[in-house]
Amino acid sequence: MKVYKAYAKVNIFLKITGKRGAYHEIVSRFMKVENLYDELSFTPKEFEYFEIVGNFSCTTKQNTIYKAYEALLEYTKSESLKKLMVKYAINVKKNIPAFAGLGGGSSDAATYLKMCNSVLHLGLSLNELATIGLKVGADVPFFIYGYKSANVSGIGEVVEEFSEPLLEFDVYTPKVEISTPKVYASYRDSFYNPLDDAKIQELKVTSSLQILNTLTPKEANDLFSPALKEYKQLQNHHRDGYFFSGSGSSFFKVKES
């Protein structure tokens, strides 16, 4: 069976711009990590229940792939989708660490949606898939569009391609499981300082390389300070010159050429 790649991402910068109910609005530059990806494929199975084969710590119903299946089924009411998942399991070779700020779960969900759209000839546009994906997670639309680099804003639903060369990264993920809601709550309680419009526009037109050359890790990512406050052991893992991705716990830097 064909194998599909679900790529990781890093956040070159991540700034909070405001609140929307229980959510935080952001502006962020997402960039694909070319050398880090999960591998997804359909594989025949014996039993009729929905099956994900892979190394996951969550239950099937908590898995983003299952949530993507439910969202796709709700949107399409497709009988062929039901039949597909009766006959086939979704096999995931997991290479992207979980709880890492690299978007692994979101990328898996997006890749699954695109696989089903292709295999079943559902004819859904990328915009439709992104709308479905947003029900699964805020980062899913970026992975649906498949851009190398993009400015992502709102709560993740606004994805604008940013034209620039793809950078190569060294990425490492300490064994610190971080709760994204906990980090955002800490930001809201102790660090809340949303970015103004002029600074947002400036960041959105600046290249990723320039941003990484001019900002410190704490300046680039509003979630780094609250993550350090809530998970003090992170400080022991931070190496000079490395930036923090998402709500962590991964660090990255551009590979030396």
Distance of CA 20 to the CA centre of its chain: 20
For residue 61, the 8-state DSSP code is: G
- In this structure, the number of other CB atoms found within 10 A of the CB of residue 100 comes to 24
**Tally of CA atoms within 13 A in the half-sphere of 24 that contains its CB:** 25
3-state helix, strand, coil in the chain (%, to 5): 40, 25, 35
77 is catalytic: no
- In this structure, the number of other CB atoms found within 10 A of the CB of residue 188 comes to 13
189 is catalytic: no
Cβ atoms of residues 227 and 245 within 8 Å: no
Cβ atoms of residues 228 and 191 within 8 Å: no
How far apart CA 211 and CA 100 sit, in angstroms, is 22
| Selected catalytic residue, list 15, 139, 222, 253 | 139
Distances in Å between the Cα of 227 and the Cα atoms of 81, 137, 157, 238 are 40, 20, 24, 12
Q: Radius of gyration over alpha carbons of the chain, in Å?
A: 18
- 126 CB-contact burial (10 Å; exposed 0-12 / middle 13-18 / buried 19+): middle
| Selected catalytic residue, list 9, 15, 114, 253 | 9
Alpha helices, H only, 78-207: 79-87, 104-119, 126-134, 140-145, 180-186, 197-204
So which residues are the catalytic ones? 9, 139
